Amino acid sequence: MITPPKDELNEPILLKRHKTQNGGHRTIAPVGKWKGVYYSEELYNAIVKNSKHKFKTHRGFLFRQDYLFKNYVEILFNLRQRSQKNTPINIIAKLLLNSLYGRFGMNPDKADHIILGDQLEKDKIFIDYEVKSVVNLGNGKELYSYVPKKVKDKEILDLLKDDAGNSNMLINVAISSAITGLSRIFMSYFKNNSLFKLYYSDTDSIFIDVNLENIYPDLVGTALGQLKPEYEFDEACFLAPKVYGGIIKEGHSLVKAKGVKNIIP
């Protein structure tokens, strides 16, 4: 059970993955009291930021700590810095950097899909797999969504090993949780900060009313982990995550909506 302090209502530090009414998920910043699963460093950070945070822990898991991707990240980041923007090398290095941690947090039970028309094939898929849904396409064929049938723990472990007995498992929720948790901890330094007003923040970006370089010069630059200035707005409006726009200093308007940006003279 988590109880945040009342003076943190405008810029909550702790976030939660919330299930929506249509079966989807979204990240929210709740207030009041709630339950959730958290990376322990996030809870420690919340207490450091404001000792009024209260937690009641029910259970936990202990994982070993190590710098697993240090060389991987440094090599690819240096490759990006040495290559021109939008070149194949630069784009590939960026994708490898950005997608690595997400791969460890993927759902292993994602359904596969196939279109079948032959009755014998339709019968066989029910024998070999657990069918999640069937959609009649109206032309004598059907779209099947299916997952492997559930097996016992020992059989699962055997499936995750190669011929030499080594594990092939590329999913580790602890790794992804730690990386995203540490990212939220870094972004929390810009919340409830008396040195500036925070208008909007995302996974790796902030909009504030001062020049960050004048306050925290070590945080601004092109090195790994530093922030770089993107836009300076005269006026701006923030409607939702990744949905904002405004008038930038160059006299143009900029509108961004979930990955699509448009600059209009």
pLDDT tens-digit map of 79-92: 999 999 889 999 99
What pLDDT does residue 214 have?
Answer: 92
What share of the chain has pLDDT > 90, as a percent? Answer: 30
Segment 15-24 mean pLDDT: 82
Residue 88 is predicted with a pLDDT of: 93
Reference 65, options 143, 146, 182, 165; nearest CA is 182
Hey, is 225 helix, strand or coil?
A: coil
The rounded mean pLDDT for the chain is: 84
Element at 262 (helix H, strand E) = strand 260-264
What pLDDT score was predicted for residue 22? 80
> Can you give the pLDDT at residue 156?
47
The residue among 3 and 115 whose pLDDT is bigger is 115
Task: Return all residues near 116 (Cβ < 8 A) that are at least 6 apart.
Answer: 122, 125, 141, 142, 144
| Position 52 pLDDT exceeds 80 | yes
Question: For residue 78, is pLDDT > 70?
Answer: yes
Lowest pLDDT segment from 86-100, 165-179, 236-250: 165-179
Segments of 34-150 assigned E as strands: 54-55, 112-116, 129-136, 142-148
Determine which of 51-60, 99-108, 132-141, 254-263 has the lowest per-residue pLDDT on average: 254-263
Tens-place pLDDT, residues 20-29: 888 778 888 8
Q: Residue 230: which pLDDT band, with cuts at 50, 70 and 90?
A: confident
Query: What pLDDT is recorded for position 76?
Result: 94
Could you tell me how far CA 39 lies from the centroid of its own chain? 14
The mean pLDDT of 137-150, rounded to a whole number, is 86
Q: Which residue in 49, 30, 51 sits closest to 189, CA to CA?
A: 49
What pLDDT does 115 receive? 93
pLDDT at 163 exceeding the cut of 90: no
Between helices 40-49 and 173-188, what is the axis angle to 10°?
Answer: 10
